């Protein structure tokens, strides 16, 4: 993200316009309990959240507070026990083409080339494979993998593999991207660079994204808003609008944000809200 866009988001006129745009995603009083032979677990309670088209929202919360469950609800993998989850006002009743997932493990098939991996979704869905191939090649080129499309995943670094996984997700042209700790298996440097690159790609392509992460700096540096969930059952504890007008310069945003005077304040606030010390 450019600093200009950070400042733009802070402008009251744009904020008013944004408030009038109908939400792409809405959670209305959503609750969910899991039932298993070991008993009942209340994972989420009373979740109310609207996410605008093109917005990037990060969800943070302690382990087991229901972060992944929120994504599963949106992907239509589990139904809510109470309340409604809707995309563009239409309740989610099952998996749909508008939602793409990116996970911690890239789940690339080792025996297929990067291009073949990228084409997996269109192959399963059926349709115009020539168009899908053109789309896949363009995506891989845009993500810096043009020279590697005929390589196997084993020949790529961890960061390149995650970019390939993103290309595979994007090839299905989802409007909404769900990112479930997609960087946690990577080393720190790769993670910083890739977080920046991926946030940029998602914004350029106008996708609405939800990132689940345990990493507060990652959430703060990638997202437009950070949602903090309470301990289980997960409820919304706080929502922070992120704007770092002082994160200037040419350094990657992930680094620049960490060096601003606002950063430690926000970090500490979110850390307190996570109630880690109350264990
Ligand atoms: N299929 C399931 N059956 C029973 N309990 C489940 C199921 N899936 C999740 N849970 C429980 O629901 C709670 C919320 O799980 P969830 O995976 O959403 O949390 P999370 O915040 O994503 O956790 P983590 O940060 O550790 O990945 C946890 O206590 C988990 O054990």
Q: What is the pLDDT of residue 19?
A: 57
Ligand 1, residue 44: give the atom nearest the CA: 14
103 assigned to some structural domain: no
Mutate which of 33, 38, 40, 41 for ligand 1? The one with the most ligand atoms within 8 Å of its CB, which is 41
Question: How would you write the chain as a 3-class SS string?
Answer: CCHHHHHHHHCHHHHHHHHHCCCCEEEEEEEEEEEECCEEEEEEEEEEEEECCCCEEEEECCCCCCHHHHHHHHCCCCCCCEEEEEECCEECCCCCCCEEEEECCCCCCCCCCHHHHHCHHHHHHCCCHHHHHHHHHHHHHHCCCHHHCCCCHHHCCHHHHHHHHHHHHHCCCCCEEEEECCCCCCCHHHHHHHHHHHHHHHHHCCCEEEEECCCHHHHHHHCCEEEEECCCCECEEEEEECCCCCCCCCCCHHHHHHCCCHHHHHHHHHHHHCCHHHC
CB 257 within 8 A of CB 243: no
- Overall average pLDDT of the 222-251 stretch: 85
Cα(68) to ligand 1 centroid in Å equals 7
Q: What are φ and ψ of residue 133, in 5° steps? A: -65, -40
Residues 185 and 87 grouped into a single domain: yes
Q: Which residue reads 């939800």 in tokens?
A: 210
Per the structure, the count of domains in the chain is 2
Q: What is the pLDDT of residue 253?
A: 74
Which residue did the predictor score with more confidence, 48 or 252? 48
pTM of the model: 0.86
Residues 86 and 219 grouped into a single domain: yes
Query: Mean pLDDT, the chain, as a whole number?
Result: 87
Q: What is the pLDDT of residue 8?
A: 39
- Domain span at residue 181 reads 3-98+174-278
Cα(39) to ligand 1 centroid in Å equals 13
At residue 131 the predicted structure's pLDDT band, cuts being 50, 70 and 90, is: very high
Token pair, residue 38, equals: 């070991």
| Spatial separation of the C-alpha atoms in residues 63 and 55, rounded to whole Å | 25
Residues 211 and 160 grouped into a single domain: no
pLDDT at 51 over 60: yes
pLDDT at 7 over 80: no
Ligand 1, residue 38: give the atom nearest the CA: 4
Residues 91 and 123 grouped into a single domain: no
Where does a domain end: 173, 203, 218?
173
Q: What is the pLDDT of residue 85?
A: 97
* 39 within ligand 1 shell (Cβ under 6 A): no
Q: What percent of the chain has pLDDT over 70?
A: 89
Cα(61) to ligand 1 centroid in Å equals 12
* 59 within ligand 1 shell (Cβ under 6 A): no
Q: What is the pLDDT of residue 4?
A: 35
């Amino acid at each position: 993200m450019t600093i200009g866009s950070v400042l733009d988001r802070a402008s009251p006129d744009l904020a008013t316009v944004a408030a009038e745009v109908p939400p792409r995603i809405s959670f209305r009083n959503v609750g969910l309990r899991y039932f298993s032979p070991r008993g009942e677990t209340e994972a989420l309670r009373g979740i109310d959240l609207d996410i605008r088209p093109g917005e990037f929202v990060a969800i943070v919360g302690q382990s087991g507070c229901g972060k992944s469950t929120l994504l599963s609800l949106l992907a239509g993998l589990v139904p809510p026990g109470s309340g409604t989850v809707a995309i563009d006002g239409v309740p989610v009743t099952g998996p749909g083409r508008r939602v793409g997932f990116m996970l911690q493990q890239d789940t690339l098939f080792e025996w297929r080339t990067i291009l073949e991996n990228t084409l997996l979704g269109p192959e399963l869905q059926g349709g115009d494979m020539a168009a899908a191939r053109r789309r896949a090649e363009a995506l891989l080129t845009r993500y810096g993998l043009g020279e590697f499309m005929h390589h196997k995943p084993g020949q790529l670094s961890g960061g390149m593999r995650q970019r390939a996984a993103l290309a595979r997700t994007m090839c299905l042209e989802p409007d909404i991207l769900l990112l479930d700790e997609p960087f946690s298996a990577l080393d720190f440097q790769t993670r910083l660079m890739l977080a920046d690159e991926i946030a940029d790609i998602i914004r350029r392509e106008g996708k609405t994204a939800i990132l689940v992460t345990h990493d507060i700096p990652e959430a703060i540096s990638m997202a437009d808003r950070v949602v903090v969930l309470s301990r289980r059952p997960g409820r919304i504890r706080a929502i922070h609008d992120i704007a770092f007008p002082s994160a200037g310069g040419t350094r990657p945003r992930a680094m620049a944000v960490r060096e601003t005077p606002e950063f430690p304040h926000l970090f500490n606030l979110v850390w307190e809200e996570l109630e880690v010390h109350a264990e």
